[in-house]
């Protein structure tokens, strides 16, 4: 009967790779693909990036309770012919362990239409905040990392909280109210 | 000759991966396969068009999971579960088919595990600050006090609050798989932060994260036509007034499950795998019997 439970003791003995696998990344959608998915009826996406002044950043932080980290926000006005049908906003959040590119699609009235994750990069440990440490993975985006991608993509074990995205939504809705809408 | 004409499409079968924040975690859906005939598509369609049919299927699967979240979230005051938690101790409440289905399964797991799986631990989790404070409840009843009546009617015999966190996520994964199948997707994986299920001809390789060193992978499992769910206190464990607590309640001892341990269960369906992880954690002896009964298997990782 005890065969039903495999007790795996001292996992260091059976770790598959030689060392830790410090990083894995997944690209789900390109910006262009996400645009098509969020607005199937769109005919045009007009780039309308916004550079935030420090006053605007402070105002958004105050309104949303979430710190504004970047001073440029990538934004597209979405059109169906002559008709304005919504906003498409690209953003990134840096969580505790993960680095996420995502988009928020808003309807013309500013309500949330859709959220899609574009790219998800997960790193662990104290090194996460170390830019130099993180930089070593950027260079590998086109070569070695892709191979890792294929091999290590399905992970079970940690439930990663999506709270950082929820915070990002709050921040971008304040951005819409205080900056885009005007 | 017709087969020859189809060859290019076999080579370029659509495969898409999408991810959305849902159920408090990141839900990833992978759909692939050459199911154009079941999708009702013209085989002459180009790859982007067939991909767009896949995106529609994945959109529908996400929507099904969102529906489960809206009905069964203990955090959302507008959910059906919150309605139960507020009112079922005072009157009979009629719930949706989905919520009733999950309650019936939760009840079955509680009965069979003699309470090692317990969906009435919400007051304890609320006291530990892991669920909204409104779910706290003095002298709360337990799973034996939940009456599931005919016509999807529910009544609590004593004041209590429910949390379906230990089973509803798995159920949502099952629902998403069902939707993808209905849409003619040939093979797919739905992964809701470690509660996952695959279907289709090919097996998938799943990496289990090591509980104390999440950057390391401790074990690899091949999964085909099955579900895998993992429970571990390692990512929610915290100190509370000198006491160690986590989101996993040892319902028999009324304490938190803590320490370097991670339990993964492979079963046919994800709700079952999800629920059985709690039985393995809280009642390992009994768990062996239940795992055997359901043709399931557990992987226990410790330090």
Q: Identify the residue among A34, A99, A154, A166 best suited for mutation to test binding to B, counting B beta carbons within 10 A and taking the highest.
A: A154
Q: Check CB contact of A124 with chain B, cutoff 8 Å.
A: yes
Token representation of residue A97: 């362990």
Pick the CATH number of B203-303 from 3.40.50.720, 2.60.120.260, 3.40.50.620, 3.10.520.10: 3.10.520.10
Strand segments, DSSP code E, in chain A are: 5-8, 23-27, 44-47, 50-51, 72-80, 83-94, 98-107, 112-123, 155-156
Q: How far apart are CA B139 and CA B254, in angstroms?
A: 13
* Residues from chain B contacting residue A22 (CB–CB below 8 Å): 215
Angle at CA B193, nearest 5°, toward B191 and B198? 20
Residue A15 DSSP label: -
* Average pLDDT rounded to a whole number, residues A74-97: 91
- For the ranges A55-59, A152-156, B31-35, B231-235, which has the lowest average pLDDT? A152-156
Q: Which chain B residue is nearest to residue A166, measuring alpha carbons?
A: B21
Alpha helix (H) residue ranges in chain B: 2-11, 36-39, 47-72, 80-87, 97-112, 122-127, 168-182, 270-282, 284-293
User: Above 90 in pLDDT, residue A42?
Assistant: yes
Contact check, Cβ <8 Å, B214/A26: no
pLDDT band at B44 (very low <50, low <70, confident <90, very high): low
Mean pLDDT of the region A89-103: 83
Q: Which of B227, B134, B108 is nearest to B177 (CA)?
A: B227
The CATH architecture annotation of domain B14-74+165-199 reads Roll (3.10)
User: Tens digit of pLDDT for each residue in B247-266?
Assistant: 777 777 678 777 767 888 99
B165 against B12, higher pLDDT: B165
Residues of chain B with CATH 3.10.520.10: 14-74+165-199, 203-303
C-alpha B224, offset from chain centre:
17
Angle, helices B97-112 vs B168-182, to 10°: value is 130
CB contact under 8 A, B230 and A157: yes
Residue B207 binned pLDDT confidence (cut-offs 50, 70, 90)? confident
Residue range(s) of every CATH 1.10.3980.10 domain in chain B: 79-156
Give chain B positions within 8 Å (CB) of A5: 280, 284, 287-288, 291, 298, 300
Higher pLDDT, B159 or A5: B159
Two tokens, residue A180: 């885009």
Please state the domain extents for chain A: 17-180
Tell me if B220 and A26 make a contact (CB, 8 A cut-off). Answer: no
List the single best residue of B21, B195, B278 to mutate versus A (max A Cβ within 10 A).
B21
- Ranking A103-117, B8-22, B29-43, B137-151 by mean pLDDT, the lowest is B29-43
- Within 10 Å of residue B259's Cβ, how many Cβ atoms? 15
Q: Reply yes or no on whether the pLDDT at B38 is more than 90.
A: no
pLDDT beyond 70 at B278: yes
For A137-159, the pLDDT digits (tens) are 333 332 333 233 333 345 554 44
Q: Do B194 and A158 touch (CB under 8 A)?
A: yes
CA distance B87 to chain A (A): 29
pLDDT over 90 at A127, yes or no = no
- Sorting pLDDT into bands at 50, 70 and 90, what band is A12? very low
B209: left (phi over 0), alpha (psi -120 to 50) or beta: beta
Q: How confident is the model at residue B34 (pLDDT cuts 50, 70, 90)?
A: low
- Could A166 and B218 be called an inter-chain contact, meaning their C-beta atoms sit closer than 8 Å? no
Closest CB from B17, B211, B213 relative to A26: B17
Q: How far apart are CA A147 and CA A181, in angstroms?
A: 43
- CATH architecture group of domain B79-156: Orthogonal Bundle (1.10)
**A179 at the B interface (CB within 8 A)?**
no
Residues B209, A158: C-beta atoms closer than 8 Å = yes
Q: Which of B55, B216, B302 sits opposite A20 (nearest CB)?
A: B216
Task: Name the band, by pLDDT with cuts 50, 70 and 90, for residue A133.
Answer: very low
C-alpha–C-alpha distance, residues B141 and B145, integer Å: 6
User: Residue B205's Cα: distance from chain center in Å?
Assistant: 19
What distance in Å separates the CA atoms of residue A178 and residue A175, rounded to the nearest whole number?
5
Give the rounded percent of residues in chain B with a pLDDT score beyond 90. 50
B contact test, residue of A3, A11, A92 with most B CBs within 10 A: A11
> Residue B30 to residues A26, A28, B145, B152, B162: CA-CA distances in angstroms?
12, 10, 40, 34, 32
- B59 CA: distance to closest CA in chain A (Å): 9
Average pLDDT, integer, range B60-89: 95
Task: Identify the pLDDT of residue A24.
Answer: 57
Q: Is the pLDDT of residue B96 over 80?
A: yes
Reported confidence tier of residue B126, pLDDT bands at 50, 70, 90: confident
- Chain B's closest residue to A18, CA to CA, is B216
Q: Do B298 and A6 touch (CB under 8 A)?
A: yes
The answer to whether residues A121 and A99 touch, using CB atoms and an 8 Å cutoff, is: yes
Mean pLDDT of chain B: 85
From the number of C-beta atoms within 10 Å of its C-beta (0-12, 13-18, 19+), residue B148 rates as middle
The DSSP secondary-structure symbol of B233 reads G
- Are B26 and A120 in contact (CB < 8 Å)? yes
Closest CB to B209: pick one of A7, A115, A157: A157
For the record, the structure tokens of B193 come out as 């932060």
The pLDDT of residue A128 is: 37
If pLDDT is split at 50, 70 and 90, which confidence band does B213 have? low
Q: Alpha carbon of B68 to those of A116, A120, B98, B125, B165: distances in Å?
A: 19, 25, 8, 21, 11
Pairwise CA distance, residues A132 & A156, whole Å:
29
Residue among B217, B232, B303 minimizing CB distance to A16: B217
Of B265, B142, B151, B145, the residue nearest B197 (C-alpha): B265
Interface test with A, best of B65, B205, B212, B216 (most A CBs within 10 A): B216
């Amino acid at each position: 009967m005890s065969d039903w439970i495999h007790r795996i003791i001292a996992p260091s003995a059976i770790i598959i790779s030689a060392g830790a696998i410090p990083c894995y990344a997944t690209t789900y959608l390109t910006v262009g693909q996400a645009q098509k998915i969020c607005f199937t009826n769109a005919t045009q996406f007009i780039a309308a990036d916004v550079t935030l002044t420090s006053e605007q950043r402070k105002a958004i932080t105050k309104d949303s309770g979430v710190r504004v980290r970047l001073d440029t926000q990538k934004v597209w006005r979405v059109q169906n012919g002559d008709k304005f049908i919504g906003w498409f906003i690209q953003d990134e959040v840096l969580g505790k362990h993960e680095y996420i590119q995502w988009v928020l699609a808003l309807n013309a009235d500013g309500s949330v239409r859709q959220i899609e994750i574009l790219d998800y990069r997960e790193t662990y440990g104290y090194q996460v905040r170390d830019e130099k440490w993180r930089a070593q993975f950027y260079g590998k985006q086109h070569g070695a990392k892709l191979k890792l991608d294929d091999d290590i993509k399905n992970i079970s074990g940690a439930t990663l909280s999506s709270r950082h995205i929820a915070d990002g939504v709050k921040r971008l809705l304040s951005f819409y109210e205080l900056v885009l809408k005007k | 000759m017709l087969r020859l004409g189809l060859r290019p499409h076999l080579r370029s079968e659509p495969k898409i991966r999408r991810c959305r924040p849902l159920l408090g975690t990141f839900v990833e859906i992978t759909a692939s396969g050459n199911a154009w005939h079941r999708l009702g598509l013209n085989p002459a369609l180009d790859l982007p068009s067939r991909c767009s049919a896949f995106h529609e299927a994945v959109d529908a699967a996400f929507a099904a999971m969102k529906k489960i979240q809206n009905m069964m979230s203990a955090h959302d005051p507008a959910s059906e579960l919150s309605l139960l938690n507020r009112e079922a101790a005072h009157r009979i409440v009629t719930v949706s088919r989905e919520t009733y289905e999950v309650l019936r399964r939760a009840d079955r797991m509680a009965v069979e595990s003699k309470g090692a799986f317990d969906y009435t631990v919400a007051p304890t989790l609320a006291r530990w600050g892991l669920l909204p404070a409104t779910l706290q409840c003095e002298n709360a009843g337990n799973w034996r006090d939940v009456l599931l009546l005919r016509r999807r009617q529910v009544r609590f015999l004593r004041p209590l609050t429910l949390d379906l966190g230990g089973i509803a996520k798995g159920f949502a994964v099952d629902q998403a798989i069902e939707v993808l199948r209905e849409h003619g997707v040939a093979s797919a994986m739905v992964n809701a932060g470690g509660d996952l299920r695959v279907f289709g001809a090919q097996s998938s390789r799943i990496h289990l994260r090591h509980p104390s060193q999440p950057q390391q992978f401790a074990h690899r499992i091949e999964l085909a036509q099955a579900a895998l769910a993992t429970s571990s206190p390692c990512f929610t464990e915290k100190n509370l007034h000198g006491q160690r607590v986590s989101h996993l309640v040892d319902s028999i001892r009324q304490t938190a499950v803590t320490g370097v341990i991670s339990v993964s269960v492979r079963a046919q369906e994800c709700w079952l795998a999800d629920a059985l992880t709690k039985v393995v954690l809280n009642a390992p002896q009994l768990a062996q019997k239940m795992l055997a009964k359901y043709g399931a298997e557990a992987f226990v990782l410790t330090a």
